[in-house]
Amino acid sequence: MVSALGMTAVLGGCGLTGDSEVTLKLVAADYGDSKANSSQKYWDELAEAYEAEHPDVRIDVTVHSWNDVDRKVREMVDAGEAPDMAQIGAYADYAAKGLLYRADDVLSIPVQANFVSQLESAGQVNGVQYGMPFAASTRVLFYNKTLFAEAGITPPKSWDDLAEAAEALKAEGVKYPYALPLGPEEAQAETLQWLLSGGGGYTESVGSYRIDSAENVATFTWLKDELVGKDLTGPVAPGELNRADAFAAFAKGDVGMLNGHPSLMKIASAKGVEFGMVPTPGVEGPSKATLGVTDWMTAFKQNGHQEQIGDFLDFVYNDDNVLGFSRMYDLLPVTTTASEAMSTAARDKELRPFLDELLASELYPVGKGSWAEVSAEIKKRIGRAVAPGGNPEAVLASIQATATRAESAE
């Protein structure tokens, strides 16, 4: 039933004046890993709850896997058949083409003001919010408690601690002392997590790319020399190790430590792995910043329906619904009030380490139309920076050149 998702029929706005029997088409991503927990079920129940209070509005939801959803939406837009709303991974290119409603075109003031500040800012293009954050996560360092106990070590706080722990784990025969997934699946995430821990990042304070900064070169030089070069990252070359495979290896007990997001808790627990979580180590102590990731809700102008879209989205961002979705998929709420509720709820205690990191998180530069191209280049090339004979400075300079060209073309 709807109540199982914590959904409420108390809606933010009523008495719509739009056309009768309006159908709003929503395309959304699937966060489930089986039919039983597919996001289609979540959205169908949410739509049913909304339609019960709005008999003249129908919500037509189509859910696609993350492998397909961005492409499906792009194909719809290119064919002149844009959905009313799309919950996807990127928004900036659509905003640049004038295809999207601004957030303040559709959301009520209280709802828009309730977004977590870092996430709201990341949804802006030239200071205007088009991307509405929908689900968020951060990263912490997971470690295998059993392997750490056998090696007689404690969780690392600094890079040197991490290298020493990896050496001890290797001496105990651990297959992956530290798993470093720089393969094409999600290399942009592991890369940014390390760059942030070294005091760098993808962009400088004014927003331009700085991928080949001195801090970033130093970070990847350390990784190459102190982890990969000393055979502390396992039998698969980092450039060929994907995140999903690293997570699976952790769940098998083959990994001493790795960066992970909330879903790894469920994966590891299901396999009986006893794990701990600590803030990402930095150069001299815990990193001052961590990677934050959010997905986006967008509202397309093509079909009109501005008022109906806004009223439905106000409902979507009701705290009960935000919390229901977050809890179903081990994600972080994107609104301040829902985050506050999660931070004090006993049932959410396992998510608190991630929630604590959210306010200090840094997101991908998703407001740049060039980010998709730059991200693809990182996935393609970054593994070479730590490979035998690799040159971190040259690889980062090559990616920076691509970023500079892409940014100038925006």
Q: What is the pLDDT along the chain (410 residues), one digit of tens a residue?
A: 333 344 433 343 444 444 468 999 999 998 887 777 789 999 999 999 999 999 999 999 999 988 788 889 999 999 999 999 999 888 888 998 999 999 999 999 999 999 998 888 888 888 899 999 999 999 999 999 999 999 999 999 999 999 999 999 999 999 999 999 999 888 999 999 999 999 999 998 768 999 999 999 999 999 999 999 999 999 999 999 998 899 999 999 999 999 998 889 988 999 999 999 999 999 999 998 899 989 999 999 999 999 999 999 999 999 999 999 999 888 999 999 999 999 999 999 888 888 888 877 889 998 888 888 899 899 999 999 999 999 999 999 999 999 999 988 77
- If one counts every other C-beta atom within 10 angstroms of the C-beta of residue 357, the result is 21
pLDDT at residue number 187:
92
pTM confidence score: 0.82
pLDDT at residue number 159:
98
Q: Does a structural domain hold residue 284?
A: no
Q: Does a structural domain hold residue 214?
A: yes
Q: To which residue do tokens 């070294």 refer?
A: 198
Q: Are 198 and 138 in contact (CB under 8 A)?
A: no
- Examine the domain organization and report whether 238 and 114 are in the same domain: no
pLDDT at residue number 188:
92
Q: Does a structural domain hold residue 288?
A: no
SS3 198: coil
- Examine the domain organization and report whether 256 and 374 are in the same domain: yes
The Cα 396–Cα 27 span in angstroms is 36
> What does each C-alpha distance from 101 to 95, 309, 353, 354, 393 come to in angstroms?
8, 10, 34, 31, 41
The Cα 268–Cα 252 span in angstroms is 8
Indicate the number of domains in the chain: 2
pLDDT at residue number 206:
67
pLDDT at residue number 12:
39
- Examine the domain organization and report whether 148 and 126 are in the same domain: no
**CATH number of the domain that residue 99 is part of:** 3.40.190.10
- Examine the domain organization and report whether 212 and 342 are in the same domain: no
- Examine the domain organization and report whether 376 and 241 are in the same domain: yes
Q: Which residues are CB-neighbours of 223 under 8 A, at least 6 positions away?
A: 180, 194, 385, 386, 392
- Examine the domain organization and report whether 110 and 201 are in the same domain: no
- Examine the domain organization and report whether 41 and 102 are in the same domain: yes
Name the domain boundary from 343, 362, 381. Answer: 362
Structural domain range at position 224 = 140-279+370-408
Q: Does a structural domain hold residue 54?
A: yes
- Examine the domain organization and report whether 299 and 261 are in the same domain: no
- Examine the domain organization and report whether 259 and 274 are in the same domain: yes
CA nearest neighbour of 256 among 152, 330, 348: 152
Helix (H) or strand (E) holding 99: none
Q: Does a structural domain hold residue 67?
A: yes
- Examine the domain organization and report whether 130 and 150 are in the same domain: no
- Examine the domain organization and report whether 170 and 124 are in the same domain: no
Two tokens, residue 169: 């784990």
- Examine the domain organization and report whether 304 and 336 are in the same domain: yes
385 DSSP assignment: G
pLDDT at residue number 361:
87
pLDDT at residue number 178:
98
- HSE-up of residue 34 (Cα within 13 Å, Cβ side): 3
Q: What are phi and psi of 92, to 5 degrees?
A: -65, -40
Q: Does a structural domain hold residue 289?
A: no
Q: Does a structural domain hold residue 286?
A: no
Beta strands in 311-403 (DSSP E): 361-362
Q: Does a structural domain hold residue 390?
A: yes
